[in-house]
Structure 1
Amino acid sequence: MIRQFDQSLQDVKNLLLQMGEHLEIAIDKAVKSLSRLDARMAREVLEHDPVIDEMEGKIDDAVAKLIATQQPVATDLRRLIAAMKIASDMERMADLAANIAQVTVQLVEQKLSLFKELEDIPKMAAITQQMVHDGINSYIDGNVALARKLADTDDEVDRMYHDIVNELLDLIKQNQADTEVALRLSFVARYLERIADHATNIAENIVYIQTGKRADLN
Protein backbone atom coordinates (compact mmCIF):
# COMPACT_ATOMS: atom_id res chain seq x y z
CA MET A 1 0.00 0.00 0.00
CA ILE A 2 2.77 2.42 0.95
CA ARG A 3 4.76 1.61 -2.19
CA GLN A 4 1.65 2.13 -4.33
CA PHE A 5 1.01 5.53 -2.73
CA ASP A 6 4.63 6.60 -3.17
CA GLN A 7 4.56 5.62 -6.84
CA SER A 8 1.27 7.44 -7.39
CA LEU A 9 2.64 10.53 -5.67
CA GLN A 10 5.72 10.36 -7.88
CA ASP A 11 3.42 10.22 -10.90
CA VAL A 12 1.76 13.44 -9.72
CA LYS A 13 5.17 15.05 -9.28
CA ASN A 14 6.14 14.01 -12.80
CA LEU A 15 2.97 15.56 -14.18
CA LEU A 16 3.75 18.80 -12.33
CA LEU A 17 7.28 18.77 -13.77
CA GLN A 18 5.91 18.31 -17.28
CA MET A 19 3.38 21.07 -16.77
CA GLY A 20 6.12 23.35 -15.48
CA GLU A 21 8.26 22.66 -18.53
CA HIS A 22 5.37 23.48 -20.86
CA LEU A 23 4.71 26.67 -18.89
CA GLU A 24 8.32 27.85 -19.03
CA ILE A 25 8.32 27.31 -22.80
CA ALA A 26 5.03 29.21 -23.14
CA ILE A 27 6.39 32.23 -21.25
CA ASP A 28 9.62 32.19 -23.25
CA LYS A 29 7.89 31.91 -26.62
CA ALA A 30 5.28 34.53 -25.74
CA VAL A 31 7.88 37.15 -24.88
CA LYS A 32 10.10 36.23 -27.82
CA SER A 33 7.12 36.56 -30.13
CA LEU A 34 6.57 40.06 -28.76
CA SER A 35 10.21 41.08 -29.10
CA ARG A 36 10.25 39.86 -32.71
CA LEU A 37 6.61 40.73 -33.49
CA ASP A 38 6.29 37.13 -34.64
CA ALA A 39 2.56 36.40 -34.91
CA ARG A 40 3.13 32.78 -35.91
CA MET A 41 5.10 32.07 -32.73
CA ALA A 42 2.46 33.88 -30.68
CA ARG A 43 -0.29 31.74 -32.18
CA GLU A 44 1.68 28.62 -31.26
CA VAL A 45 1.46 29.73 -27.64
CA LEU A 46 -2.27 30.30 -27.94
CA GLU A 47 -2.85 26.95 -29.64
CA HIS A 48 -0.84 25.12 -26.98
CA ASP A 49 -2.69 26.64 -24.02
CA PRO A 50 -5.41 23.91 -23.97
CA VAL A 51 -2.66 21.29 -23.54
CA ILE A 52 -1.65 22.93 -20.25
CA ASP A 53 -5.31 23.13 -19.20
CA GLU A 54 -5.62 19.40 -19.86
CA MET A 55 -2.56 18.67 -17.73
CA GLU A 56 -4.13 20.52 -14.81
CA GLY A 57 -7.19 18.29 -15.18
CA LYS A 58 -5.04 15.16 -15.12
CA ILE A 59 -3.33 16.31 -11.93
CA ASP A 60 -6.66 17.12 -10.25
CA ASP A 61 -8.05 13.70 -11.20
CA ALA A 62 -4.94 11.87 -9.99
CA VAL A 63 -4.97 13.71 -6.65
CA ALA A 64 -8.71 13.16 -6.13
CA LYS A 65 -8.28 9.44 -6.79
CA LEU A 66 -5.36 9.19 -4.36
CA ILE A 67 -7.24 10.97 -1.60
CA ALA A 68 -10.29 8.77 -2.12
CA THR A 69 -8.44 5.45 -2.28
CA GLN A 70 -5.44 5.96 0.01
CA GLN A 71 -6.90 8.37 2.60
CA PRO A 72 -3.56 10.10 3.28
CA VAL A 73 -3.05 12.21 6.40
CA ALA A 74 -0.70 14.91 7.69
CA THR A 75 2.18 15.76 5.35
CA ASP A 76 1.05 13.40 2.60
CA LEU A 77 -2.41 14.95 2.50
CA ARG A 78 -0.95 18.47 2.47
CA ARG A 79 1.39 17.46 -0.35
CA LEU A 80 -1.53 16.31 -2.47
CA ILE A 81 -3.66 19.37 -1.74
CA ALA A 82 -0.67 21.57 -2.59
CA ALA A 83 -0.21 19.73 -5.90
CA MET A 84 -3.72 20.71 -6.95
CA LYS A 85 -3.18 24.33 -5.95
CA ILE A 86 0.18 24.45 -7.74
CA ALA A 87 -1.40 23.05 -10.89
CA SER A 88 -4.10 25.72 -10.66
CA ASP A 89 -1.49 28.47 -10.29
CA MET A 90 0.43 27.14 -13.29
CA GLU A 91 -2.74 27.04 -15.40
CA ARG A 92 -3.34 30.70 -14.58
CA MET A 93 0.27 31.53 -15.42
CA ALA A 94 -0.21 29.82 -18.77
CA ASP A 95 -3.27 31.99 -19.38
CA LEU A 96 -1.15 35.06 -18.66
CA ALA A 97 1.49 33.86 -21.12
CA ALA A 98 -1.32 33.47 -23.66
CA ASN A 99 -2.36 37.07 -22.91
CA ILE A 100 1.16 38.20 -23.81
CA ALA A 101 1.00 36.22 -27.05
CA GLN A 102 -2.34 37.85 -27.80
CA VAL A 103 -0.73 41.29 -27.48
CA THR A 104 1.77 40.24 -30.15
CA VAL A 105 -1.03 39.14 -32.48
CA GLN A 106 -2.89 42.41 -31.93
CA LEU A 107 0.17 44.54 -32.64
CA VAL A 108 0.91 42.64 -35.85
CA GLU A 109 -2.68 42.69 -37.06
CA GLN A 110 -2.92 46.44 -36.43
CA LYS A 111 0.47 46.99 -38.05
CA LEU A 112 1.85 48.63 -34.93
CA SER A 113 5.60 48.52 -34.32
CA LEU A 114 7.74 48.70 -31.21
CA PHE A 115 9.32 52.10 -30.69
CA LYS A 116 12.51 50.50 -29.37
CA GLU A 117 14.09 47.10 -28.84
CA LEU A 118 12.69 45.38 -25.77
CA GLU A 119 15.19 44.93 -22.95
CA ASP A 120 13.57 45.07 -19.52
CA ILE A 121 10.52 42.96 -20.38
CA PRO A 122 12.62 39.98 -21.59
CA LYS A 123 14.75 40.30 -18.43
CA MET A 124 11.61 40.29 -16.33
CA ALA A 125 10.33 37.26 -18.23
CA ALA A 126 13.57 35.35 -17.64
CA ILE A 127 13.26 35.96 -13.91
CA THR A 128 9.65 34.77 -13.83
CA GLN A 129 10.60 31.63 -15.78
CA GLN A 130 13.27 30.89 -13.20
CA MET A 131 10.74 31.45 -10.43
CA VAL A 132 8.46 28.85 -12.01
CA HIS A 133 11.39 26.44 -12.32
CA ASP A 134 12.51 26.97 -8.71
CA GLY A 135 8.95 26.74 -7.40
CA ILE A 136 8.35 23.35 -8.99
CA ASN A 137 11.75 22.04 -7.91
CA SER A 138 11.17 23.22 -4.35
CA TYR A 139 7.97 21.14 -4.35
CA ILE A 140 9.67 18.07 -5.78
CA ASP A 141 12.58 18.31 -3.32
CA GLY A 142 10.66 19.71 -0.33
CA ASN A 143 13.12 22.61 -0.30
CA VAL A 144 11.57 25.26 1.96
CA ALA A 145 14.66 27.51 1.84
CA LEU A 146 14.45 27.73 -1.95
CA ALA A 147 10.72 28.39 -1.73
CA ARG A 148 11.21 31.27 0.71
CA LYS A 149 13.82 32.84 -1.60
CA LEU A 150 11.08 33.27 -4.19
CA ALA A 151 9.59 36.01 -2.01
CA ASP A 152 12.73 38.10 -2.48
CA THR A 153 12.68 37.45 -6.21
CA ASP A 154 9.03 38.49 -6.34
CA ASP A 155 10.00 41.82 -4.76
CA GLU A 156 12.59 42.26 -7.51
CA VAL A 157 9.97 41.60 -10.18
CA ASP A 158 7.63 44.12 -8.53
CA ARG A 159 10.36 46.77 -8.69
CA MET A 160 11.01 45.98 -12.34
CA TYR A 161 7.31 46.25 -13.11
CA HIS A 162 7.03 49.69 -11.56
CA ASP A 163 10.20 50.88 -13.31
CA ILE A 164 8.90 49.66 -16.68
CA VAL A 165 5.51 51.32 -16.22
CA ASN A 166 7.11 54.60 -15.14
CA GLU A 167 9.41 54.53 -18.18
CA LEU A 168 6.48 53.86 -20.50
CA LEU A 169 4.51 56.72 -18.96
CA ASP A 170 7.45 59.05 -19.58
CA LEU A 171 7.60 57.90 -23.20
CA ILE A 172 3.91 58.63 -23.65
CA LYS A 173 4.42 62.17 -22.33
CA GLN A 174 7.26 62.69 -24.79
CA ASN A 175 5.47 61.23 -27.81
CA GLN A 176 1.73 60.56 -27.69
CA ALA A 177 1.98 58.64 -30.98
CA ASP A 178 3.50 55.79 -28.94
CA THR A 179 0.60 55.70 -26.47
CA GLU A 180 -1.18 52.58 -27.74
CA VAL A 181 1.96 50.45 -27.98
CA ALA A 182 3.20 51.70 -24.62
CA LEU A 183 -0.09 50.80 -22.95
CA ARG A 184 0.01 47.30 -24.41
CA LEU A 185 3.57 46.85 -23.18
CA SER A 186 2.48 47.97 -19.72
CA PHE A 187 -0.15 45.20 -19.83
CA VAL A 188 2.59 42.71 -20.71
CA ALA A 189 4.67 43.86 -17.74
CA ARG A 190 1.60 43.44 -15.55
CA TYR A 191 1.03 39.91 -16.86
CA LEU A 192 4.62 39.01 -15.98
CA GLU A 193 4.24 40.54 -12.53
CA ARG A 194 1.14 38.41 -12.00
CA ILE A 195 3.03 35.29 -13.13
CA ALA A 196 5.62 36.04 -10.44
CA ASP A 197 2.82 36.36 -7.87
CA HIS A 198 1.50 32.93 -8.82
CA ALA A 199 5.02 31.49 -8.56
CA THR A 200 5.17 32.92 -5.04
CA ASN A 201 1.86 31.19 -4.30
CA ILE A 202 3.64 27.94 -5.16
CA ALA A 203 6.33 28.81 -2.62
CA GLU A 204 3.68 29.39 0.04
CA ASN A 205 2.34 25.89 -0.62
CA ILE A 206 5.80 24.40 -0.08
CA VAL A 207 5.97 26.03 3.35
CA TYR A 208 2.46 24.75 4.08
CA ILE A 209 3.45 21.18 3.22
CA GLN A 210 6.37 21.16 5.62
CA THR A 211 4.91 23.20 8.49
CA GLY A 212 1.15 22.81 8.20
CA LYS A 213 0.87 26.61 8.44
CA ARG A 214 0.05 29.17 5.76
CA ALA A 215 2.79 31.70 4.98
CA ASP A 216 2.19 35.03 3.24
CA LEU A 217 5.20 35.51 0.97
CA ASN A 218 3.59 38.00 -1.42
Structure 2
Amino acid sequence: MVREVFKAKLQELHKELLSMGNVAEKQISLSIEALINHNGDLANKIIKDDDIVDNMQKEIEDRCIKLIAMQQPLASDLRYIFTTSKIVTDLERIADHAVDIAKITGILKDEVYIKELIDIPRMAEIVEHMLKESLDSYIEADVSKAYNVCKMDDKVDAIYRQVFSELLIIMMKDIKTINQATQFLFICKYLERIADHITNICEWTIYLVTGEQVDLNE
Protein backbone atom coordinates (compact mmCIF):
# COMPACT_ATOMS: atom_id res chain seq x y z
CA MET A 1 0.00 0.00 0.00
CA VAL A 2 2.80 2.40 0.93
CA ARG A 3 4.56 1.60 -2.32
CA GLU A 4 1.42 2.30 -4.33
CA VAL A 5 1.02 5.69 -2.67
CA PHE A 6 4.64 6.51 -3.45
CA LYS A 7 4.20 5.55 -7.12
CA ALA A 8 1.13 7.77 -7.30
CA LYS A 9 3.15 10.68 -5.95
CA LEU A 10 5.86 10.04 -8.54
CA GLN A 11 3.19 10.20 -11.23
CA GLU A 12 2.05 13.56 -9.86
CA LEU A 13 5.67 14.69 -10.14
CA HIS A 14 5.60 13.56 -13.77
CA LYS A 15 2.55 15.68 -14.49
CA GLU A 16 3.95 18.76 -12.75
CA LEU A 17 7.21 18.48 -14.68
CA LEU A 18 5.34 18.26 -17.99
CA SER A 19 3.14 21.18 -17.01
CA MET A 20 6.19 23.32 -16.24
CA GLY A 21 7.74 22.25 -19.54
CA ASN A 22 4.60 23.29 -21.42
CA VAL A 23 4.68 26.72 -19.79
CA ALA A 24 8.37 27.16 -20.68
CA GLU A 25 7.68 26.11 -24.28
CA LYS A 26 4.81 28.60 -24.50
CA GLN A 27 7.04 31.36 -23.15
CA ILE A 28 9.53 30.73 -25.96
CA SER A 29 6.80 30.78 -28.60
CA LEU A 30 5.19 33.96 -27.26
CA SER A 31 8.54 35.76 -26.94
CA ILE A 32 9.21 35.22 -30.65
CA GLU A 33 5.63 36.18 -31.54
CA ALA A 34 6.06 39.42 -29.60
CA LEU A 35 9.36 40.11 -31.35
CA ILE A 36 7.98 39.52 -34.83
CA ASN A 37 4.90 41.68 -34.24
CA HIS A 38 6.64 44.47 -32.27
CA ASN A 39 4.17 43.63 -29.49
CA GLY A 40 5.33 45.39 -26.34
CA ASP A 41 2.22 44.41 -24.36
CA LEU A 42 2.80 40.72 -25.02
CA ALA A 43 6.46 41.13 -24.14
CA ASN A 44 5.47 42.66 -20.80
CA LYS A 45 3.08 39.76 -20.13
CA ILE A 46 5.88 37.26 -20.74
CA ILE A 47 8.09 39.11 -18.26
CA LYS A 48 5.33 39.15 -15.62
CA ASP A 49 4.49 35.48 -16.17
CA ASP A 50 8.04 34.47 -15.28
CA ASP A 51 6.84 34.25 -11.66
CA ILE A 52 4.60 31.36 -12.69
CA VAL A 53 7.60 29.30 -13.80
CA ASP A 54 9.62 30.27 -10.72
CA ASN A 55 6.78 29.16 -8.44
CA MET A 56 6.38 25.88 -10.31
CA GLN A 57 10.08 25.19 -9.83
CA LYS A 58 9.84 25.83 -6.09
CA GLU A 59 6.76 23.64 -5.73
CA ILE A 60 8.32 20.71 -7.60
CA GLU A 61 11.59 20.96 -5.68
CA ASP A 62 9.64 21.08 -2.42
CA ARG A 63 7.68 17.99 -3.47
CA CYS A 64 10.97 16.20 -4.26
CA ILE A 65 12.34 16.97 -0.80
CA LYS A 66 9.15 15.76 0.90
CA LEU A 67 9.15 12.52 -1.11
CA ILE A 68 12.68 11.76 0.08
CA ALA A 69 12.00 12.78 3.67
CA MET A 70 8.58 11.16 4.18
CA GLN A 71 8.90 8.01 2.07
CA GLN A 72 11.47 5.25 1.78
CA PRO A 73 12.50 5.48 -1.86
CA LEU A 74 14.54 2.79 -3.57
CA ALA A 75 17.83 3.72 -5.25
CA SER A 76 16.08 3.97 -8.64
CA ASP A 77 13.41 6.23 -7.10
CA LEU A 78 16.07 8.50 -5.64
CA ARG A 79 17.68 8.81 -9.05
CA TYR A 80 14.35 9.76 -10.56
CA ILE A 81 13.65 12.38 -7.87
CA PHE A 82 17.17 13.78 -8.21
CA THR A 83 16.97 14.09 -12.00
CA THR A 84 13.53 15.71 -11.75
CA SER A 85 14.95 18.42 -9.49
CA LYS A 86 17.79 18.99 -11.97
CA ILE A 87 15.47 19.22 -14.98
CA VAL A 88 13.21 21.84 -13.39
CA THR A 89 16.29 24.01 -12.90
CA ASP A 90 16.97 23.83 -16.64
CA LEU A 91 13.30 24.57 -17.40
CA GLU A 92 13.43 27.64 -15.18
CA ARG A 93 16.51 28.91 -16.99
CA ILE A 94 14.87 28.24 -20.36
CA ALA A 95 11.94 30.42 -19.30
CA ASP A 96 14.41 33.08 -18.10
CA HIS A 97 15.90 33.27 -21.60
CA ALA A 98 12.40 33.69 -23.06
CA VAL A 99 12.05 36.66 -20.73
CA ASP A 100 15.42 37.98 -21.93
CA ILE A 101 14.07 37.90 -25.50
CA ALA A 102 10.88 39.67 -24.38
CA LYS A 103 12.96 42.44 -22.79
CA ILE A 104 14.76 43.00 -26.09
CA THR A 105 11.36 43.22 -27.81
CA GLY A 106 10.57 46.08 -25.43
CA ILE A 107 13.73 47.84 -26.58
CA LEU A 108 13.12 47.32 -30.30
CA LYS A 109 9.30 47.52 -30.50
CA ASP A 110 9.25 51.00 -32.10
CA GLU A 111 12.07 50.34 -34.57
CA VAL A 112 11.95 49.17 -38.18
CA TYR A 113 13.94 45.94 -38.31
CA ILE A 114 17.14 46.00 -40.36
CA LYS A 115 16.36 42.57 -41.82
CA GLU A 116 13.37 40.29 -42.21
CA LEU A 117 13.06 37.90 -39.28
CA ILE A 118 13.38 34.48 -40.85
CA ASP A 119 16.24 32.70 -39.13
CA ILE A 120 15.38 33.65 -35.54
CA PRO A 121 11.86 32.15 -35.79
CA ARG A 122 13.45 29.06 -37.40
CA MET A 123 15.81 28.71 -34.44
CA ALA A 124 12.90 29.12 -32.04
CA GLU A 125 10.85 26.49 -33.85
CA ILE A 126 13.71 24.00 -33.55
CA VAL A 127 14.27 24.62 -29.83
CA GLU A 128 10.53 24.36 -29.12
CA HIS A 129 10.49 20.99 -30.87
CA MET A 130 13.64 19.96 -29.01
CA LEU A 131 12.06 20.87 -25.68
CA LYS A 132 8.91 18.85 -26.34
CA GLU A 133 10.90 15.85 -27.53
CA SER A 134 13.33 16.04 -24.61
CA LEU A 135 10.49 15.92 -22.08
CA ASP A 136 8.87 13.06 -23.97
CA SER A 137 12.17 11.18 -23.88
CA TYR A 138 12.36 11.73 -20.13
CA ILE A 139 8.83 10.59 -19.40
CA GLU A 140 9.22 7.59 -21.72
CA ALA A 141 12.76 6.86 -20.42
CA ASP A 142 13.81 6.75 -24.07
CA VAL A 143 17.60 7.10 -24.35
CA SER A 144 17.55 6.86 -28.16
CA LYS A 145 15.15 9.78 -28.41
CA ALA A 146 17.30 11.78 -25.99
CA TYR A 147 20.35 11.35 -28.23
CA ASN A 148 18.31 12.31 -31.31
CA VAL A 149 17.19 15.54 -29.63
CA CYS A 150 20.81 16.45 -28.92
CA LYS A 151 21.65 16.10 -32.61
CA MET A 152 19.16 18.91 -33.35
CA ASP A 153 21.42 21.25 -31.40
CA ASP A 154 23.78 21.23 -34.39
CA LYS A 155 21.05 22.87 -36.50
CA VAL A 156 20.64 25.63 -33.92
CA ASP A 157 24.39 26.24 -33.85
CA ALA A 158 24.54 26.35 -37.66
CA ILE A 159 21.78 28.96 -37.88
CA TYR A 160 23.47 31.01 -35.16
CA ARG A 161 26.74 31.07 -37.13
CA GLN A 162 24.87 32.05 -40.30
CA VAL A 163 22.98 34.91 -38.61
CA PHE A 164 26.16 36.10 -36.91
CA SER A 165 27.91 36.39 -40.30
CA GLU A 166 24.96 38.17 -41.92
CA LEU A 167 24.59 40.68 -39.10
CA LEU A 168 28.33 41.32 -39.04
CA ILE A 169 28.20 42.28 -42.74
CA ILE A 170 25.20 44.56 -42.10
CA MET A 171 27.01 46.33 -39.24
CA MET A 172 30.15 46.81 -41.33
CA LYS A 173 28.12 48.43 -44.10
CA ASP A 174 26.21 50.79 -41.81
CA ILE A 175 27.27 51.63 -38.25
CA LYS A 176 23.74 52.87 -37.50
CA THR A 177 22.60 49.24 -37.48
CA ILE A 178 25.02 48.18 -34.76
CA ASN A 179 22.65 48.56 -31.79
CA GLN A 180 19.77 46.61 -33.34
CA ALA A 181 22.04 43.99 -34.89
CA THR A 182 23.66 43.43 -31.49
CA GLN A 183 20.23 42.91 -29.91
CA PHE A 184 19.41 40.29 -32.56
CA LEU A 185 22.67 38.55 -31.80
CA PHE A 186 21.71 38.46 -28.13
CA ILE A 187 18.40 36.83 -29.06
CA CYS A 188 20.19 34.18 -31.13
CA LYS A 189 22.54 33.54 -28.23
CA TYR A 190 19.60 33.12 -25.84
CA LEU A 191 18.03 30.58 -28.20
CA GLU A 192 21.36 28.77 -28.43
CA ARG A 193 21.53 28.65 -24.63
CA ILE A 194 17.98 27.28 -24.49
CA ALA A 195 19.12 24.46 -26.78
CA ASP A 196 22.03 23.81 -24.40
CA HIS A 197 19.65 23.52 -21.43
CA ILE A 198 17.51 21.11 -23.44
CA THR A 199 20.63 19.04 -24.07
CA ASN A 200 21.11 19.00 -20.29
CA ILE A 201 17.61 17.55 -19.93
CA CYS A 202 18.56 14.80 -22.36
CA GLU A 203 21.72 14.10 -20.37
CA TRP A 204 19.60 13.67 -17.23
CA THR A 205 17.33 11.25 -19.10
CA ILE A 206 20.34 9.16 -20.07
CA TYR A 207 21.56 9.25 -16.46
CA LEU A 208 18.13 8.21 -15.19
CA VAL A 209 18.00 5.17 -17.46
CA THR A 210 21.63 4.07 -17.53
CA GLY A 211 23.17 5.57 -14.40
CA GLU A 212 25.89 7.09 -16.60
CA GLN A 213 26.67 10.81 -16.71
CA VAL A 214 27.44 11.98 -20.25
CA ASP A 215 28.42 15.40 -21.59
CA LEU A 216 26.61 16.16 -24.86
CA ASN A 217 27.11 19.94 -24.81
CA GLU A 218 30.13 19.98 -27.08
- TM-score > 0.5 by shorter chain: yes
Give % identity: 38
CA distance in 1, matches of 2:155, 2:78: 33
Shift of 1:112: 2.4
Letter matched to residue 176 of structure 1? I
Superposed counterparts of 1:155-170, under 5 Å: 155-170=154-169
Superposed counterparts of 1:126-165, under 5 Å: 126-165=125-164
CA distance in 2, matches of 1:70, 1:170: 60
What does the per-residue CA deviation read over 1:139-162, in whole Å, with 9 as the maximum and x for residues that have no partner? Answer: 111111111112211121111111
**Does structure 2 retain, via aligned residues, the 8 Å contact 1:100–1:191?**
yes
Shift of 1:113: 2.2
What count of residue pairs does the alignment treat as equivalent? 216
Q: What TM-score does the superposition give when structure 1 sets the normalisation length?
A: 0.96
CA distance in 1, matches of 2:104, 2:34: 10
Q: What TM-score does the superposition give when structure 2 sets the normalisation length?
A: 0.96
SS at 2:49's partner residue?
Answer: helix
CA distance in 1, matches of 2:33, 2:56: 24
SS at 2:127's partner residue?
Answer: helix
**Does structure 2 retain, via aligned residues, the 8 Å contact 1:93–1:198?**
yes
Q: Which stretch shows the higher mean deviation, 145-154 or 80-89?
A: 145-154
**Does structure 2 retain, via aligned residues, the 8 Å contact 1:29–1:45?**
yes
Spell out structure 1 runs of 4+ moving beyond 2 A: none
**Does structure 2 retain, via aligned residues, the 8 Å contact 1:100–1:188?**
yes
The match for 2:61 is: 60
What does the per-residue CA deviation read over 1:117-137, in whole Å, with 9 as the maximum and x for residues that have no partner? Answer: 200000000100111111111
The match for 2:122 is: 123
The match for 1:97 is: 98
CA RMSD of aligned residues (A): 0.9
Letter matched to residue 133 of structure 1? K
Letter matched to residue 161 of structure 2? H
The match for 2:38 is: 37
**Structure 1 unaligned regions, length at least 5:** none
Letter matched to residue 51 of structure 2? P
Residue 198, structure 1, aligned to residue 197, structure 2: yes
**Does structure 2 retain, via aligned residues, the 8 Å contact 1:127–1:157?**
yes
**Does structure 2 retain, via aligned residues, the 8 Å contact 1:113–1:181?**
no
